[in-house]
Chain A
Amino acid sequence: MRRAAPYFVLLLAIALPLVMRSLDQVYYVTMASRILIYALAATSLNLVLGYGGMISFGHAAFVGAGAYTASVMIVEGVPSAWIAWPLAMAVSGLLALVVGAISLRTRGVYFIMITLAFAQMIYYLTISMKAYGGDEGLTLTQRSDAGLGLDLKDDITFYYVVLALLALTVFFLSRLVNARFGRVIEAIRENEARMEAIGYPAFRFKLTAFAIAGALGGLAGALLANQNSYVNPGILHWTESGKLMIMVILGGVGHLYGGVFGAVGLLGLEELLANHKIGWLAALYPNYQQHSLLAVGVVMLLVVLYAPQGIAGLFKRRERK
């Protein structure tokens, strides 16, 4: 029953656009794409944060690098997704390799701060790219071109592409963390000195995980740029990194579906509060919709304080009883 649950959810996700189209609510498909893209980004961060135990406070930089790579390719007249998206992954992955090679020499708080510092550098770098919009951002005249008869301009097609990539990523991650590699990085998280002592090059394993997560983050970035047909340096701001971390915590640190749960939970909550009038809240404070982030903050705080296992933890506990 539990093993079937993810497939059941996947089926629901596949059915969603068909239902929405028949209800004439295609807006929700766009929103769902956005949530799935963030789910992909959060899932990639979860590899580093949850499985590797590395508190990276700069993941938005890799997402942003991917987004900018894909956008610049479109602007420069190479719209093919088959070139632009892998390139976005390569750029972000290489960037993560460099950042990781330096940052992973530090520990604890210093690691948090140095990843943040690198993310800030890349943030200011994008602001300085005047040829590509600077701090105004870059508007894309078209989405990437996937070929194969797929029209990415169509929101429903785009949704299915995003869903397929997310499913692939989660599948890849599940294979990765259950393989020797995953076991090793989890063991390094628990006791690095011991793993070093029995002969595992901890640094190399951590760096590999960091680079893979960076590349997957870059893919999420490329999708995000396509989804919005727009990029700006704002997606690299440090608060975006914080948001991705919140998604991972909210969903479940080191849980395969943690990133997905977290993105659905956080963005769903934001959407619910910002665009739907809830009677009792409105009675309490009429203008509450302008302050939806307040409720998001409160929920985040409560999750961190009282449910550090996140949404995935809720499922786990029930199973044990």
Chain B
Amino acid sequence: MSLTLILEQSLNGLQFGLMLFLLAAGLTLVFGIMDMINLAHGSLYMVGAFLAATLVQATGSFTLGVLLAIPATAVVGMALEITVLRTLYERDHLSQVLATFALILIINELVRMIWGSDMPLPGPQALSGPVLLLPGMPYSAYRLLIIGVGLAVAVLLYFVVAKTRVGMLVRAGASNREMALAMGVNIKLLFTLVFGFGAALCAVAGAMLAPIFAVQVGMGENILILAFVVIVIGGIGSIRGALVGSILVGMVDTMGRAFMPAILREILTPAFASAAGPAIASILIYVLMAAVLFWRPQGLFPARG
């Protein structure tokens, strides 16, 4: 286990964590402000990736395609909010879970009808090679780009939520919805905007991760669960919690996958270690979440006082 390997894996963890943050930020806002469990958030991530793949193909430019996919996905998200999800705010959590679960099936099949089961989305040619970060430590240029984009969006998000009027309304809605309503906030419009914004973040994550993972039907389902783990760990409705939670989950997941088999090999038989290592690594984040919930049931950074 050399130092460069650890460094490389922590960069991978950071990169994955930042992308998780883009998903979790939208999810936690929807969850915190509207008190709505939206399982279909992962479907927006998928739609974002498919739209990006199509637009990159059509325009021939990675940057242009991704930039166009972001508003397009936001429009899809807002349309979804206005047609279906709006009617669910008043319902109990069970109805929300089930209705959005039904939406997953519907959107999966619609995507399959329109685009087929998968699509290629190659990363930009210029960034396909590695760059030398330190002497003797090359690192994928594209992954560095993801880290850059993730950090930029996180800063932008912080600025919007903490420093602008819209952000103030969002925070007011998250900490006390009724009070915000009573103070004359146009909740309906705010909800639609937040939803569109969340969908746009999904598109960024979907498009940026697409060259590393694959663009395929069902891609949103596993990452959605991770995003939920993140917001539960971080505290529902808290952007700061989502950031800390994502980095934590990204790191634990990546590190676990990279080093768990080696650690297990020290204490157990090699055959068992190589078989059980990846699985135990996958379990780690759920153990983390169960532990956080057990000791701090409101998450690390509760949004409501």
Contact between chains at A128 and B109 (CB < 8 Å): no
**Interface residue stretch chosen among B90-98, B134-142, B192-200:** B90-98
Interface status of B151 (Cβ within 8 A of chain A): no
C-alpha spacing A304/B88, complex, angstroms? 10
Q: In the complex the two chains form, is B95's CB within 8 Å of A301's CB?
A: no
What residues of chain A lie closer than 8 Å to B289, measured between beta carbons?
113-114, 117
Structural contact, B287 and A121, CB atoms closer than 8 A? yes
**B2 part of interface (Cβ distance < 8 Å):** no
B105 and A112: CB pair below 8 A? no
Please measure, in the bound complex, the distance between the C-alpha atom of A113 and the C-alpha atom of B290, giving whole angstroms.
9
Inter-subunit contact A294/B275 (CB<8 Å): no
Q: B283 within 8 Å of A by Cβ? A: yes
Known: A128-B280, A130-B275. A246 touches B101 (CB 8 A): yes
Contacting B at CB under 8 A, from A83-122, are 102, 105-110, 112-114, 116-118, 120-121
**A239-B101, A300-B98 given. 6 additional CB < 8 A pairs?**
A105-B297, A109-B236, A113-B289, A127-B282, A245-B94, A297-B109
Which one, A49, A57, A110, contacts B297 given CB within 8 A? A110
| Contact across chains for A245 and B280 when beta carbons are under 8 A apart | no
Establish whether residues A301 and B84, one from each chain, have CB atoms under 8 Å apart when the complex forms: yes
Give the residues from 163 to 183 in chain B that come closer than 8 angstroms, CB to CB, to chain A: none
Could you tell me the distance between the alpha carbons of A134 and B278 in the complex, rounded to whole angstroms?
12
A249 & B286 in contact (Cβ 8 Å cutoff): no
Knowing A102-B290, A105-B294, A242-B97 are in contact, say whether A297-B228 is a contact too (CB < 8 A): no
The smallest beta-carbon distance between A145 and chain B, in angstroms, is 30
Give chain A nearest CB distance to B153 CB in angstroms: 25
Are B225 and A238 neighbours in the complex by a CB distance under 8 Å? yes
Q: Are B279 and A296 in contact (CB under 8 A)?
A: no
Residues from chain A with a CB closer than 8 A to the CB of B229 are 113, 117
Instruction: Say if the beta carbon of B293 comes within 8 Å of chain A.
Output: yes
17 A-B pairs within 8 Å (CB atoms) are namely A106-B297, A109-B37, A110-B232, A128-B278, A128-B279, A130-B276, A238-B221, A242-B39, A246-B98, A294-B110, A297-B103, A300-B98, A300-B105, A301-B84, A301-B103, A304-B98, A305-B99
Chain A residue numbers with a CB within 8 Å of B108 are 293
Flag B209-246 by CB within 8 Å of A: 1 or 0 each: 00000000000010001001100100010000000000
Tell me which residues across on chain B come within 8 A of A130, comparing CB atoms: 275-276
A253 to B108, CA, bound (A): 27
Would you call B105 and A297 a contact (CB within 8 A)?
Answer: yes
A29 located at the interface, meaning its Cβ lies under 8 Å from any Cβ of chain B in the complex: no
B7 within 8 A of A: no
Work out how many contacts link A and B, with CB atoms closer than 8 A: 125
Render B33-58 as a binary contact track against A, CB cut-off 8 A, 1 for contact.
00001010000000000000000000
Question: Is there an interface contact between A116 and B228, defined as CB atoms closer than 8 Å?
Answer: yes
| Chain B interface helix/strand/loop/mixed | helix
Whether B286 pairs with A117 at a CB distance below 8 angstroms is yes
Q: Is residue A37 contacting chain B, with contact meaning CB distance below 8 A?
A: no
B145 is an interface residue with CB less than 8 A from chain A:
no
Instruction: Check if B275 sits within 8 Å of A128, measured CB to CB.
Output: yes
- Whether B5 is near chain A, meaning CB under 8 Å from some CB there, is no
Q: Assess whether B113 is interfacial by the CB under 8 Å rule.
A: yes
Tell me if B304 is interfacial: C-beta within 8 Å of chain A. no
User: Would you call B106 an interface residue if the criterion is a C-beta within 8 Å of the partner chain's C-beta atoms?
Assistant: yes
Number of B residues with CB within 8 Å of any CB on chain A: 44
Q: Which residues of A contact B103 (CB under 8 A)?
A: 297, 301
**Cα–Cα distance between A253 and B104 once the two chains are bound (Å):** 22
Query: Do the beta carbons of A294 and B106 come within 8 Å of each other?
Result: yes
Complexed CA–CA distance, A296 and B225 (Å): 22
Interface residues of A in 269-306 (CB under 8 A from B): 290-291, 293-294, 296-298, 300-301, 304-305
- Docked CA distance A154–B97 (Å): 39
Q: A113-B232, A239-B221 are in contact. Are A297 and B294 (CB under 8 A)?
A: no
Q: Is A124 a contact partner of B282 (Cβ separation < 8 A)? A: yes
Q: How far is the CA of A253 from the CA of B98 in the complex (A)?
A: 13
B102 at the interface (CB under 8 A from A): yes
Q: A268 at the A/B interface (Cβ < 8 Å)?
A: no
Q: Are A109 and B275 in contact (CB under 8 A)?
A: no
Closest to A131 in B: B275
CB neighbours (8 Å) of B105 from chain A are 293-294, 296-297, 300
| Nearest B-chain residue to A243, judged by Cβ | B101
Q: How far is the CA of A294 from the CA of B102 in the complex (A)?
A: 9
CA distance A81 to B34 in the complex (A): 49
Q: Which residues of B contact A246 (CB under 8 A)?
A: 98, 101-102
Q: Is A55 an interface residue (CB 8 A)?
A: yes
| Residues on B with beta carbons closer than 8 Å to the beta carbon of A107 | 297
* In the assembled complex, B87 has its CB within 8 A of some CB on chain A: yes
- Contacts A109-B37, A297-B102; is A55 near B94 (CB within 8 Å)? yes
Q: Output the least CB separation between B230 and chain A (Å).
A: 11
Contacts of B94 in A (CB 8 A): 49, 55, 245, 249, 253
A150 at the interface (CB under 8 A from B): no
- Residue interface bits A227-258, CB-to-B below 8 A is 1, else 0: 00000000000110010011001000100000
Q: Are B225 and A106 in contact (CB under 8 A)?
A: no
CB-contact partner of B97 in A55, A105, A296, A308, under 8 A? A55
Nearest CB of A to B220, in Å? 12
Tell me the A44-59 residues at the B interface (CB within 8 Å): 49, 55, 57
